[in-house]
């Protein structure tokens, strides 16, 4: 049976299964209330992280017999704390929260840590900590702020890790998981080829002779889904629809149409619905409301296209290139918190999902797996490796505001944060706007801090981590690139208008063209260019660069790009009429999401 992952709603629950499959072991996700008889054939059990605290009254209900099956058991983050509490230890709120990179001092280089170094780079995301070990357990590793970052009972083969070995940025996390699989004696026989056959059978069974109408953005997810559906059902049962929603990059729709047709996709329709989307978003500033309206408008455009083509809606199911990251960030599993509602998870689509009217062949995969699947299916390499672009497009990269954001309640935090920055020779202000973040598997909607002055990447990274770990009111840190002296800025009123979007399109072209010229498109996984309504005169605005590197998009590091690129892009952006300042996002994920909204 392989490994069973018990899902407590953590952002990385399915990522654990992804990583286990990467090690060629079959993995399944199960509820915390699963009957232990269903675990009889499992080689081992992993307890995921989650947004709750184990000592809270509203902690997820779970079957405590899971802890006593006699099978190898590994708890991660919340799962680590649950093992502690379940076996008689004590969990308490930590004195210091940890979000992001930390160094683990390994005290027992055996079992899970066999073959590893005495000091390992790992990825933390927690507020609670183990305060007292259960009987039979000993400490296997600690960080500066977490005395029990790893614990174990080798006799019962039960282990707990406060950090996340499953994320890319735990440097040797895969070795730790590999060691656990060895302790479990699990068979290494799972392959992507098996998944392809399984998902094709699932799609054929779900459609039962009906056809699929797929929304095709032109990104890797929808392109892979389009090819898979074409192969599973045949082109006569699949129709792709590319919608220009007015939030596309400059020239993007024409490029998508050409790339698709050049790649052999002839069952694709293109619709310009930009005016409809802009009308629906007129005067809307709140991020979740923007995402909801964009998602619902996609369905209205789809319905109009079905009517125009005289297609029977009962005969055509909706297809989507949804990845598991979309599902988990939208709070789409039991016990998971909503980080941001993806356009393919708005209420109307949730209703269609419940009715079995949505086909999502990639919904259990992450970005790296979707790319591997695309290569296996024969999707052209240039489509597989295009930079991801969100369905709402520039609609979530043009921050909006009613012009009345207040930060008066943050004076104490700002004063203390300024003292931290001054120790690094930098100035700091908390900005009068907010962005979305993810900390401890929960959504935050808090203020970015801006720092300015001469510095280096290492100092900026350490300061960003210290600030976001120390202040709940700060979930993101940005660094001033230009002008040399930051203008005194406030928040200005701004919505999703064609003029603002056109300005952002021009800025985006400058950034993406520079990435290509400097041969950085593979080094940088994604490069959101964000328009923010920060202004000194109520007219001009500001740009934030958000380059990140990641494999799975569940965690990400901000990319540290060469100075020649930064100088060229900064100068190009400041030359645009309407842009008065350029910033660089120096926040990892967590605590900042990839997109600002």
343, 471: one domain: no
- Report yes or no on 65 lying in a domain: yes
pLDDT surpasses 60 at 327: no
Q: For residue 20, which phi and psi values (nearest 5 degrees)?
A: -65, -40
146 is catalytic: no
Tokens 């790893």 sit on residue? 150
Query: What is the domain-level CATH number for residue 152?
Result: 3.40.50.880
203, 155: one domain: no
Provide the percentage of residues in the chain whose pLDDT is more than 90: 63
- Report yes or no on 79 lying in a domain: yes
pLDDT-derived band at 346 (thresholds 50, 70, 90) equals very low
User: What was the pLDDT predicted at 340?
Assistant: 40
In 453-578, DSSP assigns E strands to 474-482, 490-491, 529-532, 534-535, 541-545, 548-549, 557-558
- Quote the CA–CA distance of 421 and 407 in Å, as a whole number: 19
**pLDDT tens per residue, range 355-384:** 778 899 998 787 888 889 999 999 888 888
pLDDT surpasses 80 at 336: no
Closest CA relative to residue 76, chosen from 145, 141, 23, 12: 12
Structural domain that includes position 460: 408-585
By three-state DSSP, how is residue 89 classified?
Answer: coil
Q: How many CB atoms lie within 10 A of CB 33?
A: 12
Query: What is the domain-level CATH number for residue 311?
Result: 3.40.50.620
First-last CA distance in the chain: 40
**Exposed, middle or buried, 263 (CB in 10 Å: 0-12/13-18/19+)?**
middle
Last residue of a domain, one of 140, 155, 184: 184
179, 201: one domain: no
Flag whether the pTM goes above 0.85: no
Catalytic residue among 14, 77, 252, 329: 77
What's the token pair of residue 175? 């070795």
- Report yes or no on 597 lying in a domain: no
Residue 298: CA count within 13 A, CB half-sphere: 28
381 is catalytic: no
User: What was the pLDDT predicted at 59?
Assistant: 87
530 vs 333: which has the higher pLDDT: 530
- Report yes or no on 53 lying in a domain: yes
351, 450: one domain: no
Cα separation values, 450 from 19, 401, 467, 570, Å:
36, 18, 11, 16
378, 430: one domain: no
User: What was the pLDDT predicted at 348?
Assistant: 61
Identify the weakest region by mean pLDDT among 25-39, 286-300, 330-344, 498-512.
Answer: 330-344
By three-state DSSP, how is residue 98 classified?
Answer: strand
- Report yes or no on 590 lying in a domain: no
- Report yes or no on 402 lying in a domain: no
Closest CA relative to residue 227, chosen from 251, 259, 205, 255: 259
Last residue of a domain, one of 347, 372, 396: 396
**pLDDT tens per residue, range 244-254:** 999 999 998 99
428, 569: one domain: yes
pLDDT surpasses 80 at 528: yes
Q: How many residues does the chain have?
A: 597
Strand partners, 160: 75, 151
- Quote the CA–CA distance of 421 and 348 in Å, as a whole number: 46
171, 54: one domain: yes
Cα separation values, 432 from 91, 259, 405, 415, Å:
36, 41, 6, 15
Report, as an integer, the average pLDDT of 83-104: 86
Catalytic residue among 14, 126, 164, 342: 164
Tokens 């299964």 sit on residue? 17
**pLDDT tens per residue, range 453-498:** 999 999 999 999 999 989 988 999 999 999 999 899 999 999 999 9
Last residue of a domain, one of 396, 422, 437: 396
335 vs 199: which has the higher pLDDT: 199
| SS3 annotation, 292-317 | HHHHHHHHHHHHHHHHHCCCCCCCEE
**pLDDT tens per residue, range 396-440:** 999 999 987 766 566 778 899 999 999 999 999 999 999 988 876
- Report yes or no on 403 lying in a domain: no
List, in sequence order, the alpha helices (H) in 361-432: 367-377, 381-384, 411-423
Closest CA relative to residue 62, chosen from 87, 43, 35, 88: 35
pLDDT surpasses 60 at 338: no
**pLDDT tens per residue, range 119-154:** 999 988 777 889 999 999 999 999 988 999 999 999
**pLDDT tens per residue, range 245-290:** 999 999 989 988 888 888 888 899 999 999 999 999 999 999 889 9
135, 259: one domain: no
Contacting residues for 121 by C-beta, under 8 A, at least 6 apart: 101, 102, 103, 104, 169, 170, 171, 172
Taking all residues of the chain, what is their mean pLDDT, rounded to a whole number?
89
pLDDT surpasses 60 at 333: no
Catalytic residue among 98, 120, 166, 597: 166
Report, as an integer, the average pLDDT of 60-83: 96
User: What was the pLDDT predicted at 329?
Assistant: 47
User: What was the pLDDT predicted at 3?
Assistant: 96
Query: What is the C-alpha R_g of the chain?
Result: 24
317, 466: one domain: no
166, 278: one domain: no
Give the chain's domain count: 3
pLDDT surpasses 90 at 313: no
Query: What is the domain-level CATH number for residue 507?
Result: 3.30.300.10
Q: For residue 341, which phi and psi values (nearest 5 degrees)?
A: -85, 110
233, 365: one domain: yes
pLDDT surpasses 70 at 328: no
- Report yes or no on 595 lying in a domain: no
The secondary structure of residue 68, as a DSSP letter, is G
- Quote the CA–CA distance of 267 and 94 in Å, as a whole number: 56
Report, as an integer, the average pLDDT of 336-356: 56
DSSP codes, 32-43: TT--GGGGTT-S
**pLDDT tens per residue, range 540-579:** 999 999 999 987 777 889 999 999 999 999 999 999 999 9
User: What was the pLDDT predicted at 11?
Assistant: 72
413, 447: one domain: yes
Q: For residue 540, which phi and psi values (nearest 5 degrees)?
A: -70, 165
């Amino acid at each position: 049976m392989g490994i069973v992952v018990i899902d407590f709603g953590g952002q990385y629950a399915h990522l654990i299964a992804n990583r286990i499959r990467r090690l060629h072991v079959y993995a399944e996700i199960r509820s915390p209330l699963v009957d232990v008889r269903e675990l009889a054939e499992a080689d081992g059990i992993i307890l995921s992280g989650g947004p709750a605290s184990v000592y809270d009254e509203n902690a997820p209900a779970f079957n405590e017999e899971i802890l006593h099956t006699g099978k190898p058991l590994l708890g991660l983050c919340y799962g680590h704390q649950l093992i502690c509490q379940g076996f008689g230890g004590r969990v308490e709120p930590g004195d210091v929260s940890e979000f992001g990179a930390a160094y683990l001092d390994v005290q027992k280089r055996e079992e899970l840590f066999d073959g590893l170094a005495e000091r390992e780079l790992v990825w933390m995301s927690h507020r609670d900590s183990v305060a007292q070990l259960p009987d039979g357990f000993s400490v296997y590793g600690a960080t500066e702020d977490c005395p029990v970052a790893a614990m174990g009972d080798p006799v019962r083969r039960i282990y707990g890790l406060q950090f996340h070995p499953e994320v890319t940025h735990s440097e040797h996390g895969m070795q730790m998981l590999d060691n656990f699989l060895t302790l479990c004696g699990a068979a290494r026989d799972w392959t992507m080829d098996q998944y392809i056959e399984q998902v094709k059978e699932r799609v054929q069974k779900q459609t039962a002779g009906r056809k699929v109408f797929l929304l095709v953005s032109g990104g890797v997810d929808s392109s892979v889904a389009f090819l898979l559906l074409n192969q599973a059902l045949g082109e006569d049962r699949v129709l792709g629809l590319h919608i220009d929603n007015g939030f596309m990059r400059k020239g993007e729709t024409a490029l998508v149409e050409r790339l698709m047709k050049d790649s052999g996709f002839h069952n694709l329709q293109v619709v310009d619905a930009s005016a409809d989307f802009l009308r629906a978003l007129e005067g809307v500033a709140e991020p979740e409301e923007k995402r909801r309206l964009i998602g619902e408008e996609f369905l209205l455009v789809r319905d109009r296209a079905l009517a125009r083509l005289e297609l029977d809606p009962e005969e055509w199911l909706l297809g989507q290139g949804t990845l598991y990251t979309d599902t988990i960030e939208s709070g789409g599993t039991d016990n998971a918190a909503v980080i941001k509602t993806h356009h393919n998870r708005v209420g109307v689509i949730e209703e269609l999902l419940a009715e079995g009217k949505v086909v999502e062949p990639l919904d259990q995969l992450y970005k790296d797996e979707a790319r591997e699947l695309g290569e296996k299916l024969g999707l052209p390499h240039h489509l597989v490796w295009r930079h991801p672009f969100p369905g709402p497009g520039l609609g979530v990269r043009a921050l909006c505001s009613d012009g009345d954001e207040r930060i008066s309640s943050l004076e104490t935090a700002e004063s203390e944060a300024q003292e931290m920055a001054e120790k690094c020779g930098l100035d700091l202000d908390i900005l009068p706007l907010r962005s979305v973040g993810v900390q401890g598997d929960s959504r935050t909607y808090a203020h970015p801090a801006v720092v300015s002055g001469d510095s280096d990447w290492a100092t900026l990274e350490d300061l960003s981590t210290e600030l976001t770990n120390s202040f709940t009111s700060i979930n993101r840190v940005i660094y001033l690139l230009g002008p040399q002296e930051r203008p005194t800025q406030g928040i200005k009123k701004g919505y999703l208008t064609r003029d603002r979007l056109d300005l952002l399109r021009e800025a985006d072209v400058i950034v993406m063209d520079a990435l290509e010229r400097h041969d950085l498109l593979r080094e940088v996984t994604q490069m959101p260019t964000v328009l923010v309504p920060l202004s000194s005169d109520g007219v001009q605005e500001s740009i934030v660069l958000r380059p990140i590197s990641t494999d799975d998009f569940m965690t990400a590091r901000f990319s540290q790009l060469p100075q020649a690129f930064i100088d060229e892009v900064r100068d190009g952006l400041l030359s645009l009429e309407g842009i008065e300042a350029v910033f660089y996002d120096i926040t990892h994920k967590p605590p900042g999401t990839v997109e600002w909204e």
